Structure 1
Amino acid sequence: MRTTPAALGAATLVLALAACGAPSEQAADSSGEGNVLRVGVSPVPHGDILSFIDENLAEEAGLELEIEEISDYNIPNTALVEGELDANYFQHRSFLDEWVANGPDAELTYVTDVHIERLGLYSETVESIGDLPEGAEIAVPNDPANLARALGILEAQDLVTIDPEAGASATEDDITDNPRDITVTPLEAAQLPRSITDVDAAVVNGNYAIETNLPEESNVLAWEPEGEDYVEDYANGLVALAENADDERVQLLAELLHDERVLEYVQESWKGVVLAVDGEGDIVESGAEGEGGDQE
């Protein structure tokens, strides 16, 4: 089952799922409706990956999925805490840690890594980093976890220098050297693809880049660097309430997410932009490397 609202509001989600019962009531048995696992996802690529599992693996494994596509990053964790979902799959650990630190008192568990959506520096007006003009305006995601990540791309390309003490909390105010007088403009992540016509370049999250065909229609000036803790920090994964993390349905989905057929599907569908992560926490294949964004 796949539900596909373009942007599911919290009130709509409550009404749609109110009759489903609390997560504990869902775990009744392995054969009836009690085995339905309600998972909130970003539409792309998360929703596509779960739909692939639903259509090709879930029935044989004895798992029934109810997939709720949610475009707003602010909703899935709240819906999970309030019992409207059994799990969600849209975020990396850094985002989850930031949300837990500033959200309600709740224990959420990151169950397993699934994939990495590479941030890319895209432009419709220039073809390489060297072509960026003096005083160029570059748009970046404004959520704390991805803002620091985006600044890391600019620093790796020698466009700016970031105060090392800022770490994962770096913002545009932590730029200590800006030799080309770059203007860094934070915007809501979902707005970045549309902003690309108004700025010289934009750092765009992989899911939003895919949804708007940026890798095919725009110039990829650079991909984010893959540091030592790249998977640990930025792999998107399956998340559940701590009390339900060992639920058989959640663990079964975690296993299916690392099935070889799923890994192959991810590799073939979004070469270079989405990197599959196996059950050991290793990147399966890195398709696009370095400046210019060459994709295989």
Structure 2
Amino acid sequence: MATDITFEQVNYWYQAGTPFAVQALKNIDLQITPGSFTAVIGQTGSGKSTLIQHLNALLKPSSGTVKIGDRIINSETKNKRLKPLRKKVGIVFQFPENQLFEETVIKDIAFGPQNFGVSEADALVLAKRMAGEVGLDEALLKRSPFDLSGGQMRRAAIAGVLALEPEVLVLDEPTAGLDPRGRLEIMQLVTRLRQEQNLTIVLITHQMDDVANYANQVVVMGHGELIKQGTPREIFSDPKWLENHQLGLPSATKMAYELQQSGFSFKTMPLTVEELADQLTPQLSEGAISHE
């Protein structure tokens, strides 16, 4: 059965009950449907990372409930009941070097399945297959994970989570620190995996172009609250609101708003370069620029 994730009135406090208590999530109501691609955006400190750690119960709500498939998690849920969730919902954190620790890449990828009872031999076969899925060259598998480039580390961390054969893949800033080519390769990889393995994707990102190009649902966090949600087109339709919340626009949308000032017109504001080109080409060929 596909994994549906629902937050109901979720609050979370760090260091609850102490003088240093900080509320990181406030009354979160959210649904993530199977097969969707949800982008989570917001300024640093808005609660994004705290939110995603509730997706596989690395954190449990201080109050409220998170429902993951048929399992309900609240503040009373015992930790021993949560291990199966880590298999259903896999998280790749922002700094892959913090997730890699074995002496070789292949052992690192195989670690998760072995932790869930898969034999070493079967786990190594699975690890080799997942390395291939993410485009890691076989020659790299016997090297230390710390000898890999940033992009290769990212792929190894993704392969390690995929080896658990999850239904939901959560990625925290997967393209941070990569050059434009590396960013594109990782996002194309994620898109392909989603299609081929029927994954639900949850992506934390500051890259608004990635939100526009890949997501079908956007969740905007601010000061621990879910302040807006909708499709990318809905979220990016109000540049003033985004500016007030210190959020940017996709580059194509930003260019379209600037071109409007020069007399170009757009039936709908383009989100991608392709959409921008489709609407600009006829106007340029007809010389349909107003000089009034």
- TM-score, normalised via structure 2 length: 0.30
Q: TM-score, normalised by structure 1?
A: 0.29
Q: Which has the larger radius of gyration?
A: 2
Higher relative contact order (CA 8 A, sep 6+): 1
